[in-house]
Structure 1
Amino acid sequence: MEEKILKALQEKGAMRPGDIAAAAGVEKAEADKAIKKLVKEGKVYSPKRCFYDIQK
């Protein structure tokens, strides 16, 4: 799950959680959980409100 989300962010850049879920081909609720986990791990961050991108 996390790998799909990271790949989608690498390909398309900063996106909203719903867009990330669609790009990764997963349910939005599942994507939300995975995004929160990735933020805690420091792999993803929020450059502006309601958007997420890969930590560079």
Structure 2
Amino acid sequence: MKKSRFSEAQIIGILRQQGQGQTVVQICRDSISEPTSYQWKSKYGGLELTEL
């Protein structure tokens, strides 16, 4: 299986950007694809760094 380019802390940071008002399209333009965004949100949504 391919290893992710992003650490779990980076993933949570990217998801926080979405919570701060940026749209998925804006975030995906910079770093990731839309399906990846939704997969991460289902897996890591609502988690804090201390919970990892």
How does the TM-score come out when normalised to structure 1? 0.41
Structure label with greater radius of gyration = 2
More strand by share: 1
How does the TM-score come out when normalised to structure 2? 0.43
